[in-house]
Chain A
Amino acid sequence: SQTIHQWPATLVQPVGSPLSLECTVEGTSNPNLYWYRQAAGRGLQLLFYSVGIGQISSEVPQNLSASRPQDRQFILSSKKLLLSDSGFYLCAWSSKRGYNEQFFGPGTRLTVL
């Protein structure tokens, strides 16, 4: 069966510090991968998606970036965090076949102080 992991689970970082969130998927190959941010009481905002290694598409201009160094690894990064980067970050994957149903990871709660 497929599983998706995210770490860390929680993170408290000062403004201006760098960020690296990691997401890995097991039990599937060549998945589509996604990074979302969910602000308190708000819907999910798509940040990046990837259809393959090294292929990243950005949905929202911001100080965040994403990379996919391996087929089942997706990394969200920032060189300098802003207060507005605080939120709940979710990684998801979907198959390229069938109904492309998305499966979400457990999430990372990021607080920027």
Chain B
Amino acid sequence: KNQVEQSPQSLIILEGKNCTLQCNYTVSPFSNLRWYKQDTGRGPVSLTIMTFSENTKSNGRYTATLDADTKQSSLHITASQLSDSASYICVVSAGTGTYKYIFGTGTRLKVLA
């Protein structure tokens, strides 16, 4: 069964600290993996997209890693800011040119001043 699991479910950190969010997946055939940021009451916004051959991709203070062998991905946030408070969703696309997107339930991050 295609599945995406994220951990932790929620996380609270102090402003300026770093954090790492985890995503484990069992999706076949694997096409790509994306991390989205979703502010409360808004639509998700893409942070990174990674294909099978990519190990690391950065977008500002966000760095995503992908280990296709262990089927794990992580999203590292450096020097967190209050505006990083949001839900972070891991999404795996099964196959190419298809509609199959497997969504994780997200990690809710809260950054405190």
Tally of chain B residues near chain A (CB < 8 A):
24
In angstroms, Cα B7 to Cα A26, docked, is 35
Contact call B105/A43, Cβ cutoff below 8 A: yes
Q: How far is the CB of A50 from chain B (nearest CB, A)?
A: 9
User: Secondary structure at chain B's binding surface: helix, strand, loop or mixed?
Assistant: strand
Question: What total of A-B pairs shows CB separation below 8 Å?
Answer: 55
Contact between A99 and B51 (Cβ–Cβ < 8 Å)?
A: yes
Question: Which residues does chain A contribute within 8 Å of B31, judged by CB atoms?
Answer: 99-100
A103 and B46 CA atoms in complex are apart in Å by 7
A-side binding surface: helix, strand, loop or mixed? strand
Residues from chain A with a CB closer than 8 A to the CB of B46 are: 101-103
Q: Do residues B97 and A106 form an inter-chain contact, with CB atoms below 8 A?
A: no
**Number of A interface residues, CB 8 Å?**
26
**A43 CB contact (under 8 Å) in B42, B49, B103:** B103
* Cβ distance A110 to chain B, nearest Cβ, rounded Å: 12
Cα(A102)–Cα(B47), bound, Å: 12
11 further A-B contacts with Cβ under 8 Å, apart from A44-B44, A102-B46, are A42-B105, A43-B104, A44-B103, A46-B101, A51-B99, A92-B43, A94-B99, A99-B31, A100-B98, A101-B32, A104-B45
